[in-house]
Amino acid sequence: MKIGQKVKVTRLRERLSADAVAKIKTNPVGTIKDFRMTDGSGVGVVVQLDSGITTWFFEDEVQAL
């Protein structure tokens, strides 16, 4: 995966607000904006969703389009 790549959110591990979950379920597609260290050994991706929300996901929660 690389910055600028389109991805689809395929699952959610972290607790998000009900509003954010609803927006993700309505349109789970977004663009990778950055990477983030998750727990010292993993890497997450910061995704700006087409709905305007920007949040991070574990790599196994998104799928490249």
Q: What pLDDT does 3 receive?
A: 95
Q: What pLDDT does 2 receive?
A: 94
Dihedral sign for Cα atoms in the order 29, 24, 44, 34: positive
11-54 pLDDT, tens per residue? Answer: 987 778 888 899 999 999 999 999 998 777 788 999 999 989 99
CA 34 to the chain's CA centroid: 10
d(CA 43, CA 24): 21
Q: What pLDDT does 13 receive?
A: 79
Helix (H) or strand (E) holding 64: strand 62-64
Q: What pLDDT does 61 receive?
A: 93
Q: What pLDDT does 39 receive?
A: 75
Helix (H) or strand (E) holding 19: helix 18-26
Q: What pLDDT does 18 receive?
A: 87
